[in-house]
Structure 1
Amino acid sequence: MTAGEVAETLNTDLASGLSGAESGRRLKQLGPNELPAAEKDSPVRRFLRHLHDVLIYVLLGAAVLTAVLQHWVDTIVILFVVVINATVGFLQEGKAERALEGIRDMLSPSASVLREGTWRTIPADNLVPGDVVRLRAGDKVPADLRLAEAHELTVEESALTGESVPTAKHSATVEANAPLGDRHCLAFSGTMITSGSGSGVVVATGSQTELGRINIMMSEVESLQTPLTRQIAAFGRWLALAVVLMTLILVLLGSLIHGTGMAELLQAAASFAVAAIPEGLPALITITLALGVQSMAGRNAITRRLPAVQTLGSVTTICSDKTGTLTKNEMTVERVILTGETLMVTGTGYAPEGEVIAEDGAAVSLDHTGLRRITQALSVANDTRLVQAENGRWSINGEPTEGALQSMAGKLGFDPAAVSRLTTLPFSSENKLMATVAQTEEDLRVLVKGAPDRLLDRAAVQLTPEGGTAPLDRNYWEEQIELLSSQGLRVLGAAERSATDRDTQQLGVEALGDQLTFLGVVGIVDPPREAAVTAIDVCHQAGITVKMITGDHVGTATAIARQMGIDDGAGAVSGAELEAADDAELRRLAAEHNVFARTSPEHKLRLVTALQAEGEVVAMTGDGVNDAPALRRADVGVAMGVKGTEVTKESAEIVLADDNFTTIEVAVEEGRRIYDNLRKAIVFLLPTNGAQSVVVLFAVALGWTLPLTPLQVLWANMVTAVTLAFAFAFEPAEKGLMQRPPRDPGRGIVELRHIVQIAVVSLLIAGVTTGIFRWRIEAGDDLDTARTLATTVLVVCQGFYLFNVKALESTSLRFEALSNNSVAWLCLIGLTALQLLFIYAPPLQQLFDSSALGPRYLLIISLAGLAVFVVTEVLKLLLYGTGRQAQRSGRMVSR
């Protein structure tokens, strides 16, 4: 529809706008021009969410059982662990939210609107369909507008469409089925006017805008559980079932075989349940993840949900937006083509840091006639200026492409301000060129820059390497332009001629004539982030596929993907091909191709869903609103914090404060480290519970006195969890971590070989503990002394076992394995101090029925711990020795 037809449909007047009464009526009927506020959980709900865990339910069940038996100390300690666990998670999540708030731009734009024939500024949320709005450079578009006027109007739409350069707008109609990026007669809410001016009629507000449509799409996207939460939930269910079954077996054994009284059996059952449940595990998981979040925050990644850091360690595919994520979203001149000569320009972004290099590798300066003349034309016929902030960061005041030209001039030491501009012909989308009359050092010249084809049409000669002129070789230039374009570069040309007195008075398009001297062309690109190229290579070594999903054109996307090492030769898939594909075909395309161009938000969402259907664990990165639905659907959504939109940040689990793709690779490594450490912590903790459970089971089955009371069992559980297990949160990454293939998300957090180790070590520690207890009872020690000795043996064996697990699948008999975590030694010192208090402090002796032990008992305890360490190292050699060698061989073959 034309703008006039739109105005007629909306019952408005382009010359006078709506009346105050009519706008008020529509506002009341349609509601304000704003997106629905995101629902935020109350503090109470957020706290209770951290109690929604199967292991927490098991702990609460144990608390109820101990309360029924009136073992109030046990009950209080268990509930204390539950509350501390939830509090740690609650505080950490709140801290991440506050960190996120610090990088959000919460400014609400205003709008210049025509009401009753008068232009006035009103809050943008008061706009209604039918309002006539005026736009100027620097404005944020306040609603979806059908443009009625457009004067050299360009709009930055990368956040919505993925375009890497501003889009030229006009008021003419376009095809009804035109893609979002090709709807040049519309300006969309939330995009930015980069140059020119215009006006239009509001056609959609609030949820009806393209921004709002994406917001609705996001609300309908189902978030997925992370691999960690799935595995921990499954582990907790199996553990709960095993505890219930074993408790029933224990009661039946005691009752039927030994005729033990019900009160004593219930006490034994309580001891067994408390022994079997790893009370410290939920808190340990939360603390380990929280410390991972702290580590990532120090490296510019803000984590909004604790499991997200670990989930990155399971990622098999990273789907990344191009503009602003893999690239800098800062246009850069990469190549200069002169007559018979190609020059390369180093440095990226707007910073005037770099140099121009000839084909033989020599640096070229302004002494080069051709380079000086083309630089002069491109920099002087230019309305953009470079700006350096106080922090040293360079940006532009003006249009990105012109900013790239000024950056190149700065690298050569050329100052456009030193040249006087007398008359200027502004750039227009119709003419596709800009010209200015300037007083150069040599003479008065007309300097022109613009689309190469338009300049070639007006040129008769070309500049020669010697500084003279020769007849224009149009075929040569068209070949060069085609070559640059095929490589995804945006091409601009430069030309000049001597100026006349008439030119200084008025410069029009026709006055340029057709006798220009063509100077050459430059190739401009939105450059890849240098660090991102390295990060992608590291991801490939780690077995992670990186895919580019962008709204930009196929040629540009392919060229950038090739530079970054993403394109595997399968070619790019266009949005039109994705649109035509059914679900089965889409899954094939998603699996076989790594580059997807000219995509819409729906395409990105479908691609992520298709990859997940293929069994991939997907991380989706992006900065634009068009990325938000896919971020929400992905296993891990990663938003750019600096250039990312508010909606994008709200949709993501992780926000990168520096917009650096490298941080994602670091986060993957951190996630793998955390997963390894959680596995180590579980393999460490469970033998404690297993040994205690076996001790109780043996005692009941054989009709023996319990070697540990329920409270002593809880002491052993908590003292090892609070001290020793905490050390695994600080365990450094193992060597070769990023040379491993991604974990299979379908496999459990502990595998069969780990379960064998847990079972054997549980039996080993239980056997040592029970054996020493029975030996000392038969030797005549009183019950309190024997139980104190048994409890201490159990705790000290765990202290030695800590160093077995630090190098879980390799030998611990290495200096590095014993010394690479100073926190482990501090935890061991803390454990020793606590256990000495347990043995010798009168208040704890009274509470736990413990008694002082002599020196010979301490020797027995130490020898028992050392024996467990040596036997476990032999067990590890049997379980992992050949497996580790096979893994190393497999990695060598893959390389």
Structure 2
Amino acid sequence: MSKKRTFEYIRHTVTMPEKINIPKHFKGLNDLEVTESREQFGSNTQTQKPKYHWWIALLELFKEPMLLLLISVAIIYFILDQNSEAWFMLIAVIAVSGISFYQDNRSRKALEALEALNEPLTTVLRNGAIKQIPTSEIVVKDLVIVEEGNLINADGEILHSNDFSVNESSLTGEAYSVFKSEKTEDRKIFSGTLVASGLAVFKVTEIGTETVLGKLGASLINIREEATPLQEQIERFVKKMAYIGIAVFILVWAVYFWKTRDILHSLLKGLTLAMSILPEEIPVAFTTFMALGSWRLMQEGIIVKKTRTVETLGSATVICTDKTGTLTENKMSLQAVYALANNKLTQEGDWNDSEIQKVITMAMWASEPVPFDPMEKTLHQVYEKITQSDDRTSFQMFHEYPLDGKPPMMTHLFQNNHGERIIAAKGAPEALLASSTLNEAQRQQVLLVSDELAAQGFRLLGVGFSDFKGMDFPKTQQEFTFHFVGLIAFYDPPKENISHVIRQFYDAGIKVKVVTGDNNITTRAIAKKAGIPEADAFINGADLMQLNESELITTIHNTTLLTRMFPEAKLTIVNALKKDHQVVAMVGDGVNDGPALKASHIGIAMGKKGTEIAKSAADIILIDDDLSKMITAVAAGRRIYANIKKAVQYIVSIHIPIILTVSLPLFLGWQYPDIFTPVHVIFLELVMGPMCSIVYENEPIEKNSMQLPPRAMGTTFLSFKEMSISILQGLAITIGILFMYQYSAHLYENEQITRTMVFTTLVFANSILSLTNRSFLYSIFTTLKYKNNMIYTLNVITLSMLALILYLPPVASFFKVVPLSVSQLGYCIVTSGISVLWIELLKWRRRKRILK
């Protein structure tokens, strides 16, 4: 999905209400009134951190240790009257600042794009028309329309409602929903609360920081978000390196001063080494990888609400997915109807029987008057075709019981001007049967037909009506006595690509659990068509809740189909898997999925059919409701994590020879202790920074990544084995560099030639290392085929700059180097190649072991 299309999704393709029954005299504000209100009361934005300014960002850069070191070196050079070196250091300050500013800007823009996509939309009345606007554009006196599943985004007073209840637990801690209307004493509703049922139109009274939530948010805005395990590991690593750098700086400064009694040159030597030790590229790389990873996913149609989620994606071990609309197409066609009155079962569109038509008609009355669910839309469409007289305009719904119960059902009450009443219910057949007047023989007959239809993969609903009189309605719909009239069966076929998607999950070591409110027979039929293995084992929600902790974990691991699940059961499944150290991805789209989505490591909501509360609770939104996008997301998570490791291993490996080349000649008393100056070190730093944070971020996923098991969440970022390989690489390059040092020093007995050959060898080794470390499994000949033009571009630039340093006299003089002959260049290339390419032997042995 292109970036443009992604933004169009947010702004235009969010499902608009087809029809909302509200009083006709409600017109809302006109454009002029909106402008006046915004000028008087401001915008609907919560307290935010200070606005971004580029000059503040630049000033922040000067808190970075590397820039402070460069400035210190420049000052010393000016004092020593070495002005060309001083100006070079100042140019280096600009270059390093520019690279950091560029990376920060890329990351910030990616995050701003994500924030814009994550802004919720609100339905309002303006100029007499219903429209959806970004929440930040709500103004005081707006008329806002909210329905079941919506988050309320401003404080206000109810003007009109229909069976409206709101969950205010986010403000009060009270878990139960509160019924409110324009007729109740308490007509106030508040931003941040959730519509539990019905519909309301309210007039906005407070927005932004003036809302109750806004006043609470002001005190929370500066609370720092907890660091992720990966962030903590990287921070610890960088701090350790910084402490080592300080210690070595003091040691080198002391030793050099003791030998020379020259304080300024001693400081230069110490600062040179400090620059070579400080791994300032790593934190920048981490931020860049996460932000740009989220941005890339956004372009694929996957909105990541927090960049920290990217870190978790590659670790997912279990995905709990619902059935309807995720495994299936969410296209509910009416396939069969069973009428109990004449014991007739009709399939494939033959709805001419009068009793069959009664079942369809009652099911339509049990649906929402303005349907948004695919099944209810279908029922209204079929009703239009079979009815002789459309009574929908004659009857008004005056009371309803929303979908609830275990298993669930829903009941709607209608009445016309003559006082005639319809009380219709539909839901899980077991739910209707439990409240029905049927005898045992009739129940068994219904269950027999139900099992027969469910085995074909149909989704079943029982239908009934009540002849309850009076207005003292029972507290719950289950207390009605219903006359069971029949069954309706819908078929929602599996998505075409779903079996391939499921196979990819299992290939990646991710187990799939189907968590659904449907019955086990229907779920089993769909699961088998979707290619889900072990689709015979199931457990229902009520039975699951009776298990103790050990039984629960064992049962969940051994069971693929988790049917007749209700919110508490879904949450129990997620928490049990988390306790068993699984990394859980939870797919949900309904209001009742909110707790499980929030509790899971990776909450996944659907962009089209997902409710607002599901999207709010989730970490990821799949714009096209396509589960295959989760394969893309998991692959991205694994790619990013692997590339961060490669970048850090590259930095560790190349820093070691720089550190040792600067320090060992001094400590060992070799004839050229100043072989590298700050000028040489900063040139290498300018090469390494972009290689780490720009080039490796752009590396493609390795071809075996999605065939490997997920990494454990608690694993160390760089294991002892991985760190050992990096250290060995660094030591091998150091050996090559020091060999070249001794070889050229003895052969030519000239400091400039020695410096030139050592410096050239290290630059060549850096380029070869950047290519070799693209994979620690596949050979360099394989990775050269990977599509990443940046790595070749940067290496060409690096080698071109080396050529200028060696063969352009003014530059060579500045770097204190001399031109090399072809044979001398050959020695440098061969030495650097041997010191780096030995790792290919280890890769070969590893391939033989792993890729058998």
TM-score, with length taken from structure 1: 0.64
Deviates further, 737-746 or 864-873: 864-873
> Residues 294-333 of structure 1 correspond to what in structure 2 (within 5 A)?
294-318=295-319, 331-333=332-334
SS at match of 1:746: coil
Structure 1 residue 308: Cα displacement? 3.0
Pair 1:41-2:49 in alignment = yes
- Distance between the aligned counterparts of 1:41 and 1:623, measured in 2? 31
Q: Is the 8 A contact 2:364 2:380 kept in 1?
A: no
The question of whether the paired residues in 2 share the 8 Å contact of 1:89 and 1:290 is answered with no
Q: Does 1:489 align with 2:478?
A: no
Where do 1:473-484 residues align within 5 Å? Answer: 476-481=445-450
CA contact (8 A) 1:147 1:186 kept: no
Secondary structure at 1:838's aligned position in 2? helix
Given that residues 554 and 574 in structure 1 are in contact (C-alpha distance below 8 angstroms), is that contact kept between their aligned partners in structure 2?
no
Q: Within 1, Cα distance between the matches of 2:112 and 2:105?
A: 11
Q: What residue identity is the alignment partner of 2:822? A: P
Change (3 A) 1:370 1:575: closer
Of residues 839-848 and 859-868 in structure 1, the stretch that sits farther from structure 2 once superposed is: 839-848
Structure 1 residue 768 displacement after superposition? 1.9
Cα distance, 1:627 vs structure 2: 5.6
Equivalent residues of 2:336, 2:490 under 8 A apart? yes
1:770 to 715, 738, 741: 738
How far apart are the structure 1 equivalents of 2:551 and 2:444? 42
Give the one of 375, 379, 402 matched to 1:401: 375
2:122 corresponds, among 84, 107, 118, to: 107
Matched residues in 1 for 2:788 and 2:192: separation? 57
> Secondary structure of 1:819's partner?
coil
In the alignment, structure 1 residue 275 sits paired with structure 2 residue 284 = no
Q: Show the counterpart of 1:232.
A: 234
Name 1:749's counterpart in structure 2. 717
Q: How far 1:682 sits from its partner (Å)?
A: 1.9
Structure 2 residue ranges without an equivalent (≥5)? 1-41, 78-85, 127-137, 196-210, 401-409, 415-422, 434-440, 466-482
Mapped pair 1:697 → 2:697 = no
Letter aligned with residue 206 of structure 1: F
Classify 1:62/1:759 alpha carbon distance in 2 versus 1 (closer, same or farther; 3 Å): same
Who is 2:190 aligned against? 206
Q: CA separation in 1, counterparts of 2:432 and 2:750?
A: 104
Q: What residue ranges of structure 1 are gaps of 5+ in the alignment?
A: 1-33, 112-122, 162-177, 189-197, 344-355, 357-363, 385-395, 410-414, 436-447, 457-471, 496-515, 890-895
1:841-856 equivalent positions in 2, closer than 5 A: 841=808, 844-845=811-812, 847-856=814-823
Do the aligned residues in 1 keep the contact of 2:124 with 2:145 (CA within 8 Å)? no
Distance (Å, rounded) in 2 between the aligned partners of 1:405 and 1:732: 48
Deviation at 1:98, TM superposition (A): 3.5
Give the AA of the match of 2:96: V
In 2: Cα distance, 1:708 partner to 1:568 partner: 69
Q: 3-state SS of the aligned residue for 1:597?
A: coil
Cα deviations by residue, 1:53-90 (Å, 9 ceiling, x for unpaired): 9x985535644654664556446635753564355344
Work out which of the residue numbers 661, 667, 673 in structure 1 matches 2:633.
Answer: 667
Matches within 5 A, 1:338-487: 400-405=374-379, 421=389, 476-481=445-450
User: Is this contact kept in 1: 2:152–2:193, CA < 8 A?
Assistant: no
Distance 1:401-1:314 versus aligned 2 partners, 3 A rule: closer
Q: How far apart, CA to CA, are the structure 2 residues paired with 1:635 and 1:562?
A: 24
- SS, match of residue 733 in structure 1: coil
8 Å CA contact retained: 1:331, 1:526? yes
- Classify 1:606/1:697 alpha carbon distance in 2 versus 1 (closer, same or farther; 3 Å): farther
Deviation at 1:416, TM superposition (A): 5.4
Pairwise CA distance, 1:693: 0.8
CA contact (8 A) 2:494 2:526 kept: no
Q: Distance in 1 between matches of 2:690 and 2:602?
A: 30
Shift of 1:790: 1.9
Cα 1:866–1:315 change in 2 (3 A) is same
Kindly provide the amino acid, as one letter, of the partner of residue 635 in structure 2.
Answer: E
Counterpart of 1:571 in 2: which secondary structure?
strand
Identify which of 805, 811, 816 aligns with 1:838: 805
Aligned Cα root-mean-square deviation (Å)? 6.1
Q: Which residue does the alignment assign to 1:292?
A: 293
Instruction: Give the secondary structure class of the aligned counterpart of 2:748.
Output: coil
Asked if 2 retains the 8 angstrom alpha-carbon contact of 1:542 and 1:738, the reply is yes
Change (3 A) 1:866 1:763: same
Distance verdict in 2 for CA 1:673–1:655, change over 3 Å: same
* Corresponding pairs, count: 720
Equivalent residue of 1:742, what SS? Answer: coil
Residue 92 of structure 2 aligns with an amino acid whose one-letter code is V
Question: In structure 2, what is the Cα distance between the partners aligned to 1:136 and 1:612?
Answer: 33
Cα 1:227–1:665 shift into 2, 3 Å: farther
Q: Does the CA contact (< 8 Å) of 1:110 and 1:142 recur in 2? A: no
**Alignment deviations for residues 115-174 of structure 1 (CA, whole Å, 9 cap, x no partner):** xxxxxxxx997799xxxx999999999999999999xx78899x999xxxxxxxxxxxxx
Q: Which amino acid aligns with 1:296?
A: L
CA contact (8 A) 1:784 1:851 kept: yes
- Conserved? CA contact 1:109–1:142, under 8 Å: no
State yes or no: 1:718 paired with 2:725. no
Change (3 A) 1:455 1:250: closer
CA–CA distance in structure 2, aligned partners of residues 335 and 607 of structure 1:
33
Q: Distance in 1 between matches of 2:220 and 2:590?
A: 17
Q: What residue identity is the alignment partner of 1:744?
A: A
Shift, 1:701, TM fit: 1.4
Equivalence map 1:87-102=2 (5 Å): 87-98=102-113, 100-101=115-116
Q: What is the CA-CA distance between 1:553 and the residue it aligns to?
A: 7.6
* 1:302 match: secondary structure: strand
Residues 1:292 and 1:125: Cα distance change in structure 2 (over 3 Å): same
Distance between the aligned counterparts of 1:828 and 1:783, measured in 2? Answer: 27
* Other-structure match for 2:5: none
- 1:189-215 C-alpha deviation (Å, 9 max, x unpaired): xxxxxxxxx976656521695569999
Distance change in 2, residues 1:85/1:688 (3 Å): same
What's the offset of the Cα at 1:832? Answer: 2.4
Say if 1:635 and 1:137 are closer, same or farther in 2 by CA, change over 3 A. closer
More divergent stretch after superposition (59-68 vs 740-749) = 59-68
Change (3 A) 1:50 1:145: same
Instruction: Work out the CA distance in 1 between the residues paired with 2:621 and 2:164.
Output: 26
Structure 2 vs 1, CA of residues 397 and 60 (structure 1 numbering), >3 Å: closer, same or farther?
Answer: same
Partners of 2:697 and 2:830 lie apart in 1 by 28
- The whole-number CA distance in structure 2 between the counterparts of 1:50 and 1:611 is 45
C-alpha displacement of 1:758: 1.6
State the AA in 2 paired with 1:41: K
Residues 35 and 207 in structure 1, CA contact (< 8 A), matched pair in contact too: no
What is the Cα deviation at residue 854 of structure 1?
Answer: 2.9
Aligned to 1:871: 838
Matched, 1:684 2:650: yes
Q: Residues 582-608 of structure 1, C-alpha deviation per residue, up to 9 Å, x if partnerless?
A: 9x99989988888493226xx877876
Aligned mates of 2:559, 2:140 — CA distance in 1: 42
Taking a change above 3 Å as real, the CA distance of residues 160 and 340 of structure 1, as seen in their structure-2 partners, is farther
* CA-to-aligned-CA distance 1:569-627 (integer Å, 9 cap, x gap): 4624459949x999x99989988888493226xx8778766655554444455455666
Return closer, same or farther for 1:223/1:652 CA change in 2, 3 Å cut-off. Answer: farther
Q: Report if the CA contact (8 A) 2:661-2:738 is conserved.
A: yes
Partners of 2:262 and 2:731 in 1: CA distance: 27
Give how far 1:700 is off.
1.3
Distance 1:527 1:199 in 2: 45
Report how far residue 714 of structure 1 moved: 1.7
Residue-by-residue CA offset, 1:799-846 (whole Å, 9 max, x unaligned): 22233222312433xx43321235233333333223223323456435
Give SS of 1:107's match: strand
Q: What is the Cα deviation at residue 863 of structure 1?
A: 1.9
* Distance in 2 of aligned mates of 1:142 and 1:764: 61
Q: Secondary structure in 2 aligned to 1:40?
A: coil
